[in-house]
Amino acid sequence: MGEQQFSFLPKIVNGGIAGVIGVTCVFPLDLVKTRLQNQRAGPDGKLMYSSIILNNLPMKENSLQTTIMRVFLTSSAHAYKERKTMDTEISVSEQSCRDAIEKSNLPEIIAHMFVDSNDELYKKLLNLAYKLAEKSKPICQKFVMSAALTPLMLRFYPKWKECDREERFETEIETTSIEHYFTVTNLIALLLDSIKENFSNFKKIVIWPTSTALKNFLLILRVYTKWRGYQVERNSILAIFLKILSLHPLLSNLNTCGFANDLALLSVATEMGTAGTWASTVTFLPDERDYEFKRMLLIALCLKSRDIDLNLLKTRKVIPGLLRIITPGMNIPWRPDFYCGLLRLAFYVLQLYLEQLSSEFMNNNGPVRTLMMIEYYTIKPYSNDALISALHFLKFLTEVRIRNMIEELEKNHCVEILLCIWEQLMANSLRQSSQKCLMYIFFILNKMNVDKQKDFLMILHIELLKRVLNPTKEDVIANDKMLVTHIRLLWNSLTSFDKSFDSFIANSGIFILLDTIKNCTMAVKAVALGLLVDLCEEGTCIPYVVTWRSRGKTFLNLLIDIFMEENRMLKVKVNENCIIKDPEWPICGHKQKEEIERKDKNSSASPSTIDLLGSCRSKVYALLQILNFIHEEKVEMCNEQYHIFDKRVSITDQISLLLAQNYLLLKLGEVWSEIQIDLINENLQPIDLDSFLLDTVTKYYRNWGLRIQEAQHEIIQQNRFKELIAEKELYLLLKEARLSNSYKALVELKLLARSSEIIFRLRGTQRQRKHLNLENMAVGKWMFNLPVQPIYHQHIKIPIDETKLDEKCDLDAVSSAASTDNECNIAKFEQEESSEC
């Protein structure tokens, strides 16, 4: 029901009556109290009033009329004002309350009361803190900065005031005596998550838990670990330790509280056992909760890699335990997906500790166990992600500086195992994970000191490029990162070993590389063109480059297409004929120019210089210089033999080629213009001589841009002039040509066609007669379905209109001969017809 609304007059009357009733009851008593307190003894020593009954009061003092009237008016006005305020007042929102708490010291007060409060009050404070933490992240941050983590972890220990020893705790504490588990763990998680996003701002002001508090929290973890059936609680507490580690991996209190020791013990408990320790009765099963616990332990080992005691790892046999994880058949039977996850983490942990514990790794046959795990993929294929981790670790083994590592791998048939993996991957569909595995195999084979395999390795490079160019239906499109890595490895092999280069040439590697350049993206083209520049500079592959063709395009067409494609990507200002519009910035893209003119750009990065070093256009320019100047004779010899280079170049390509051939000069001009803009943006004034030189150089390159623009217009004009000459020559040929002989031949062909038409009709008639077995039929009623009626045995003579012929043309011989042949053919046909009948 809604509240009853009162009008103006009832509000005043009700307020006045309420005030009068109050004053009538209270005023007499207040008057007596005041008179008794203020009375003094007279000259004779007597008091005016001897009791609470006051006599002889004057009328003006004893009367209540004035007071009642005043109170009535005051109370009426106050009641009206209060009611009006209540009607118009807006209730305080939850956001306002939250903002007020965030600005207040309430979180600090609650955090300080956690330590000294009794159990009942602690429970209430804990619930209050949890509700506040759920509502606001700044409140959580205030709790953390007020050292709330220490009492929360400290009081999680049931007998925290007694400070008992660890042994006594483990024998006496039961899981049922641990109170407030849900509230404490969730509250701590909220507090840690609140400082995770902007941890750099809180790093110096966060008050971390003390060693005693962490030890109590760790002892609770031990209890939940020992008692089966509390895997969720155990995992939650370990997750809180992980949060602390992720925020502060070098927290010294984690080492002093014993966490590092328990971490090393539990991380390999399923592989090396826990006999003689507090965890001797702990058992783990291959289920999901124990897998999560194992996984978090391995992640904690990764986070503690910088400050953990190495002697502790040796004592707990962490490296042998990790090697047992990666050895097939030497661990508990995890589910396949669980096992792959543990494999990836085990390889990563081994990689972190390998250099520091290399002797432990080598003494426990680490290289052999790694190769066994990789070879197991050929026997029973597992996840490609796990194989990627194994190959990545093997690559790390080939790069790390450990004595006799490469020899140990070679002795255990590393190359043969990798080649088997290669064949199996290539036999299946090439997905992203498979492509990554192939890249790691290339990395490893390049590191191995096996010169005999260099030729075979080059063949593998070529096979992979062929697979990329001609994928199967199940293959995923090759990743640009994979292709760039592969071409970089190929580049390294070709420039390091002469035999590899010869093998690459012999197996049509140049043609495959050019096909790859034609079909890949610009990022891959930039790397592949760089490789091609190095190969062409030596000169051996020039004939292969010059003779390459693809769908009617030559190598020169390919270079021009790449140059113009990058121009379009950069939005270079050119017209429809590819003629430059801005001679000052002829090959500068729109975004590049914006970056150059920005006042807040990075002073150490020059867009023009970056484009000069890393773009495809610079490689195209280098290749054109190699073909036109360095190996000009070889190009001419090949072109004389095959006649395919510098052929079929359109006018647009000629204009673009002119731009590509002058790329370096134009780009240097842009670099000097950029320097001039940078000086203006930095408010720097060069000395007169430098300013004169800068203006001169900039003007020189700008004039060069104008010359190229003029040259491009000349190409257009020359092409138009050639077209006009060709058109005039065609008209002249038509004018001077004699067409009488051609006309005679056309007339003769027309007569032959008419004669052949008669023979065709006669043969059609014969076929119809044979089909119906009828003779001497003039009009066939059986052909009523046709729109025409055939008439047989009728000769058709086609008259020739000789008036339309040229008077000089003598067609009598042609006509008579044709008519004679026609009559002979008809007679011969009639004889054949009569003989058949």
Q: How far apart are CA 470 and CA 629, in angstroms?
A: 35
Q: How far apart are CA 716 and CA 652, in angstroms?
A: 9
Contacts (Cβ under 8 Å, ≥6 apart) of 472: 429, 430
Identify the CA nearest to 428 among candidates 369, 459, 387, 484: 387
Question: How is residue 446 written in tokens?
Answer: 């390049």
Residue 648, H or E segment: none
Q: How far apart are CA 684 and CA 405, in angstroms?
A: 57
Q: How far apart are CA 806 and CA 742, in angstroms?
A: 12
For residues 744, 748, 749, 753, the Cα torsion angle rounded to the nearest 10 degrees is: 150
What pLDDT score was predicted for residue 545?
92
Question: How is residue 682 written in tokens?
Answer: 């930095």
Neighbours of 281 (CB within 10 A): 11
Residue corresponding to tokens 């370096």 = 664
What pLDDT score was predicted for residue 318?
94
Report which DSSP code applies to 89.
Answer: P
Measure Cα distances from 743 to 180, 621, 737, 746, 809 in Å: 113, 56, 12, 5, 9
Q: How far apart are CA 478 and CA 482, in angstroms?
A: 7
What pLDDT score was predicted for residue 748?
80
Q: How far apart are CA 37 and CA 40, in angstroms?
A: 9
Which residues are paired to 554 by β-bridges? 549
Identify the CA nearest to 137 among candidates 93, 161, 102: 102
Which residues are paired to 549 by β-bridges? 554
Instruction: Return phi, psi of residue 680, to 5°.
Output: -70, -40
Q: How far apart are CA 190 and CA 130, in angstroms?
A: 9
Q: How far apart are CA 38 and CA 692, in angstroms?
A: 104
Contact 514, 561 (CB under 8 A): no
Neighbours of 534 (CB within 10 A): 12
Instruction: Return phi, psi of residue 580, to 5°.
Output: -65, 145
Contacts (Cβ under 8 Å, ≥6 apart) of 639: 546, 645, 646
What pLDDT score was predicted for residue 27?
67
Q: How far apart are CA 377 and CA 423, in angstroms?
A: 12
Question: How is residue 365 written in tokens?
Answer: 């046959």
Q: How far apart are CA 243 and CA 565, in angstroms?
A: 50
Identify the CA nearest to 446 among candidates 482, 494, 480: 494
Judged on CB neighbours under 10 Å (0-12, 13-18, 19+), 53 is: exposed
Report which DSSP code applies to 804.
Answer: G
Question: How is residue 306 written in tokens?
Answer: 């910088």
Identify the CA nearest to 321 among candidates 345, 296, 293, 356: 345
Residue corresponding to tokens 């999901």 = 288
Measure Cα distances from 257 to 214, 226, 309, 417, 748 in Å: 6, 19, 14, 46, 115
Q: How far apart are CA 335 and CA 627, in angstroms?
A: 60
Which residues are paired to 550 by β-bridges? 553
Q: Is the pTM of this model over 0.85?
A: no
Identify the CA nearest to 659 among candidates 570, 567, 738: 567
Q: How far apart are CA 337 and CA 525, in angstroms?
A: 38
Q: How far apart are CA 368 and CA 437, in angstroms?
A: 20
Residues of the chain with pLDDT under 70: 1-16, 19-20, 23, 26-27, 33, 36-92, 159-177, 449-454, 644-648, 737-740, 754-760, 771-837
Instruction: Return phi, psi of residue 365, to 5°.
Output: 55, 45
Measure Cα distances from 573 to 562, 584, 593 in Å: 17, 11, 11
Identify the CA nearest to 403 among candidates 351, 375, 363, 438: 363
End-to-end CA distance of the chain: 118
Measure Cα distances from 212 to 184, 216, 324 in Å: 17, 6, 35
